[in-house]
Amino acid sequence: MINMKILQNRDSFLKTQVLIIGGGVTGTGLARDLGLRGISSILVEKQDINAGASGGNHGLLHSGARYAASDSEAAAECREEGELLKKLAPQCIEDTGGLFVAVKGDNENYTADFPGMCEKSGIKADFIDIAEVLEMEPLLSPDIIAAYQVSDASIDPFMLSLDNISHARDLGAVLMRYTKLESFNIENKKIKTALVRNTVTGQETIIEPEQVVSAAGAWAGIVAGLAGIKLDLVCSMGTLLVTQSRLAKKVINRLRKASDADILVPGGTVSILGTTSVRIDDPDKCRPTIPETDYIIEQGAAMIPALETTQYIRAYSGVRPLTGSSSGDDRNVSRGFALIDHAKDRVENLTTISGGKLTTFRLMAEKTADLICRKMGISKTCTTRTVPLPGSKEGRWTAPGLAPRMWMTGHKSDDIILCECEMVSKGIIDNIIKSCRQQGEVPTLKTVGIRSRIGKGPCQGGFCSARIAAHMYDREEFSGKKGLNELREFLNERWRGKHPVLWGLPLEQAELQEALHCGFFGLEL
Amino acid sequence: MKKTIINCDLLIIGTGMAGMAASVFAANRGLSAVNAGQSGEINFASGFLDLMGVFPVQDKKQWENPWEAVDALVKEMPEHPYAKISGKEISLAFDEFTDFLYQSGVPYAGYPDKNIQMLTPVGTFKPTFRVPNSMFKGIQAYKEKNQCLIADFRGMKGFSGRQLVEVLGDKWPGLRNIRIDLPGLKGEAYPKHLARSMENMETRQSLIKLLKPHIKEEKSVGFPAIMGLCKTLEVISHLEQELGVEVFEIAVMPPSVAGSRIWTAYQTGILKKGVNVLFQKQVLSFEQSETGELIFDIGQREKELRVQAKGAVLASGRFFGKGLYADRKMIRESIFNLPVFQPESRCRWHENNFLSPKGHKLNQAGIETDEFFRPLDSSGRPAYKNLFAAGSILAHQDWTRMKCGSGLAIASAFKAVNSFIQELP
């Protein structure tokens, strides 16, 4: 019976030039790059856009200064790419500028060598007077002993990936979300077909690609494994905390050898503090923990004492896929990227792109596409260095503060606010659902969450989730008990990040939420 | 400025379910009582009064008979506050409090010794003991699976008739839904505004005009609980007359009018009983007189008045009610700095799964008491002979999972007030 069902479901067959695995910033960037070269691609993503490290990072557009001492090549790449992106994708970037500050007790030799090391990679780091820096960022510790100004910025990784994939689709790329790669069929040292399965509907599809690129981040080892290849990959989990309000105007870095909790990045109305580096075996086991949360706060407070008393909205983790094994601190592994042609492993049309930084995603996509073109014998050059990234409908509602601004400047008289924390209206939700539908996708509570600020405010989805579920029932997006199950999933997903930071006011909110969802609705029963 | 000093028998701290109940019991027993607290939390109440519904929570075992559930609970969890109260007392307490609500215009209904499986706004059912009269007919309609129409309102968020039809469809095929577009209502329809407008005859007439043509085979119509603020039963019987079917209310998400109906009833009822109410005020500091009386400075932010009481009931709630406060390291009690029973570290506070049926360990945290509900100090003896605790601040219970919140509040308030009276010289 089961086999019959699979056979019936296996009703679709697709051909493409390039099959991309992984819908993070690299995969979506690659789909766009290939699209601009006139090369067709299908991108399969087992969850949703930016479900891995692309959605679990600081949102920091590096000036390169952070790597000046340890990895001058990566530092120079960051500098160049950062400058390019500020010009090409300004909608995703807030050009905040950044600071490097050392506090009492930090290594003074490192501090003194810093500007020289930056210069070697062509990075500008200007000395600033302590009094001036304290005036600039009043929450900095009075124990600061040195400060430099650099050109760091903050970048919205969700908007970035959504804009990339939207442009790629305009250029003919196909996106398959919630689609998991099940197996490869390899014949004559080539992947002939890939079998993928929709994790929601169970439908299977066979894809026949000319080339396959694994941009699966921390899952790249698993993908390579399906082709019988062992890939040396280290999973380094980093945890970050989101504060309730924005604590600093600029990106603030601790001026010391890269260590835990030494970067605070502004992200619209909040600040993001992190990160840690913990080796894990299985990228699916990535989740923020309470000891890590406390450690991050204690470390960060040396630089910004208010971090000890401020309120946090949530914690989240991402997994850095680092290629090449190392002993000791995973921070010593290069943050440069690895482009691996698996022809050497006897699978001629498989390539893995791994490692790297959010900041260098465009370059990673460029180099990968160059390799793919060579392998396919196509002579098309990269244009992402000069073609601006168009803003998209899908990406726009991820911007903090946009929804309230739109609401204040005017809304339809019959529109109502569904998420009060972030002022997301029914009209915005309808827009998101409509654009999902236009792209042939089934909207879920989670997809609405990723594409908006829903669930990201102080109540973390406690109230708006049930309201949006009701609205989606009204719109006939949900039938039967589907909406209730999605509500449960959505609440549990938000809880992951919330439960490490529950004390003070957030704990009061969480208690109210539990009273509502368990005490009243009995959703746990 | 000279501060007003109020002398009384009993100060009741908190205006949630436990604080309200304690104030009613104190007044009914002829005590001079003062009730102080930041009202507001009650607006988040569902309107249901739970007694005891689920135990053991990890097995999701639901009980039809709440008294049997209490017995089973007390046997296995002798530290649960219900173990300090007899079934008889719980029953007397419940009746005395619901009688007060009835006298104040909010009648409650239920079965003598049986829980109700009550429909929630998301389409689930939860076991509870007493529900507002206005909701009771819905239970019969569901039982008989009669043809029924659920009406919702355009602009009212968080309540979807279609959702209820979809979720309940397999169990209740005769259910249909309809959206009402009330004339003159643009943008958001807030439950309170809707409820107020329903007390207006013209609004009801236009509702009837819109609805009547759609009632065919239906025996009943269910509305979200916005049928009037105070005149609910009047509104419902008028609609029943004109529509020719039974009309009932379905609970809605907070902030709802079900909570504010209780609050309004309480305010009018308790004033009539002569209780001195200090709403929107909190206890700012506490000391004990040489003779053992409890002295409190009370105000909004600044100390406005002083209450000198022979005893006090601490019904300040948990975190949302601000009776307990948690920092990154531990949980404290806000007024008396009483010891708080709690897991040894924050790592143990919560489960990884929010909806874990076994419940979060933190929920069991709270104030431990003796058999008279007197909070214990760190040596395990009553902290003050004339201080009592009631409601959700009590340790060793998880009211959100056990579905025992109101029962716990009302019964512990009952025992606390009676214990205080026994303490009086």
pLDDT of residue A73: 87
Quote the CA–CA distance of B296 and B302 in Å, as a whole number.
13
Strand partners, B6: B307
Which helix (H) or strand (E) segment holds residue B209: the answer is: helix B201-211
The structure tokens listed for A436 are 């999902």
**What b/e readout covers B97-125, taking b as 16+ CB neighbours within 10 angstroms?**
bbebbeebebbbbbeeeebbbbbbbbbbb
Strand partners, A195: A183, A206
The structure tokens listed for A300 are 């960060």
Residue A417 CB: number of other CB atoms within 10 A? 22
- Does any CB of chain A come closer than 8 Å to the CB of residue B184? no
Residues 6+ apart with CB under 8 A from B41: B15, B16, B317, B320, B321
Quote the CA–CA distance of A242 and A59 in Å, as a whole number.
12
pLDDT of residue B367: 98
Q: Are residues A469 and B166, on separate chains, in Cβ contact within 8 Å?
A: no
Question: DSSP characters for A2-60?
Answer: HHHHHHHH--EEEEEEEEEE--SHHHHHHHHHHHHTT--EEEE-SSSTT-SGGGSS--E
Q: Are residues A415 and B44, on separate chains, in Cβ contact within 8 Å?
A: no
Going by C-alpha positions, the residue among A126, A108, A130, A129 that lies closest to residue A118 is A126
Cβ(A515)–Cβ(B401) under 8 Å?
no
- Does any CB of chain A come closer than 8 Å to the CB of residue B332? no
Going by C-alpha positions, the residue among A354, A363, A317 that lies closest to residue A335 is A354
Can the peptide bond before residue B343 be classed as cis, meaning omega within 30 degrees of 0? no
Q: Are residues A473 and B356, on separate chains, in Cβ contact within 8 Å?
A: no
Q: Are residues A522 and B405, on separate chains, in Cβ contact within 8 Å?
A: no
Q: Are residues A519 and B327, on separate chains, in Cβ contact within 8 Å?
A: no
Going by C-alpha positions, the residue among A506, A462, A491, A516 that lies closest to residue B43 is A516
pLDDT of residue A334: 58
Residue A488 DSSP label: H
Quote the CA–CA distance of A10 and A206 in Å, as a whole number.
8
Give the pLDDT means over successive 10-residue stretches in chain B (425 positions).
85 97 98 91 89 96 97 97 97 97 95 95 96 94 92 94 95 93 85 93 95 93 94 95 96 90 94 94 94 95 94 96 94 97 95 94 98 97 97 97 97 98 87
Which helix (H) or strand (E) segment holds residue A435: the answer is: helix A426-438
Residue type, B294: L
Residue recorded with tokens 């531990």:
B330
Asked whether the CA dihedral B396, B400, B404, B407 is positive or negative, the reply is: positive
Residue of A nearest to B165 (CA): A480
Residue A161 CB: number of other CB atoms within 10 A? 30
Quote the CA–CA distance of B23 and B414 in Å, as a whole number.
10
Asked whether the CA dihedral B180, B181, B183, B188 is positive or negative, the reply is: positive
CA of B156 to nearest chain A CA: how many angstroms apart?
Answer: 9
Q: Which of B166, B251, B326 sits opposite A507 (nearest CB)?
A: B326
Strand partners, A71: none
CA A102 to chain centre: 28
Residue A130 CB: number of other CB atoms within 10 A? 15
Residues 353-392 of B with CB under 8 A from A: 353-357, 360, 363
Going by C-alpha positions, the residue among A311, A47, A288 that lies closest to residue B352 is A288
At residue B393, φ and ψ (nearest 5 deg) are -70, -15
Judging contacts by C-beta atoms under 8 Å, the chain A residues touching residue B54 are 525
Burial of A344 (0-12, 13-18, 19+ CB in 10 A): exposed
Judging contacts by C-beta atoms under 8 Å, the chain A residues touching residue B155 are 414, 416
Residues A372-386: pLDDT tens digits? 999 999 999 999 999
Going by C-alpha positions, the residue among B332, B325, B413, B333 that lies closest to residue B24 is B413
Q: Are residues A518 and B120, on separate chains, in Cβ contact within 8 Å?
A: no
Going by C-alpha positions, the residue among A283, A264, A286, A266 that lies closest to residue A274 is A264
pLDDT of residue A5: 40
**What b/e readout covers A171-184, taking b as 16+ CB neighbours within 10 angstroms?**
bebbbbbbbebeeb
Q: What count of CB pairs under 8 Å joins A to B?
A: 155
Judging contacts by C-beta atoms under 8 Å, the chain A residues touching residue B355 are 488, 491-492, 517-518, 523-524
Residues B162-179: pLDDT tens digits? 999 999 988 999 999 999
Cβ(A144)–Cβ(A111) under 8 Å?
no
Judging contacts by C-beta atoms under 8 Å, the chain B residues touching residue A504 are 325-327
Residue of B nearest to A476 (CA): B162
Residues 6+ apart with CB under 8 A from B324: B317, B318, B331, B332, B333, B334, B340, B365, B366, B393
Spans in chain A with pLDDT lower than 50: 1-10, 325-327
Quote the CA–CA distance of B379 and B376 in Å, as a whole number.
7
Sheet holding A153-155, edge to edge: A60-61, A153-155, A93-94
pLDDT of residue A332: 52
Please report, for residues A480, B13, B50, B94, B145, the alpha-carbon distance to residue B118 in angstroms, rounded to integers and kept in the order given.
Answer: 19, 31, 11, 18, 14
Quote the CA–CA distance of B57 and B401 in Å, as a whole number.
6
CA of B421 to nearest chain A CA: how many angstroms apart?
Answer: 33
3-state secondary structure labels for all residues of A340-409: EEHHHHCCCCEEEEEECCCCCHHHHHHHHHHHHHHHHCCCCCCCCCCCCCCCCHHHHCCCCCHHHHHHHH
Cβ(A396)–Cβ(A431) under 8 Å?
no
Q: Are residues A467 and B120, on separate chains, in Cβ contact within 8 Å?
A: no
Judging contacts by C-beta atoms under 8 Å, the chain B residues touching residue A469 are 122, 163
Query: Taking the model in full, what pTM does it have?
Result: 0.89
Quote the CA–CA distance of A380 and B60 in Å, as a whole number.
62
Residues A449-465: pLDDT tens digits? 888 888 877 777 888 99
Residues 55-114 of B with CB under 8 A from A: 60, 62
Residues A15-40: pLDDT tens digits? 999 999 999 999 999 999 999 999 99
CA of A482 to nearest chain B CA: how many angstroms apart?
Answer: 8
Rounded to a whole number of angstroms, the distance between the first and last alpha carbons of chain B is 35
Burial of B371 (0-12, 13-18, 19+ CB in 10 A): exposed
Residue of A nearest to B56 (CA): A525
Judging contacts by C-beta atoms under 8 Å, the chain B residues touching residue A512 are 44, 320
Which of B120, B319, B325, B408 to mutate: most A Cβ within 10 Å?
Answer: B319
Residues 309-328 of B with CB under 8 A from A: 318-320, 322, 325-328
Cβ(A25)–Cβ(A357) under 8 Å?
no
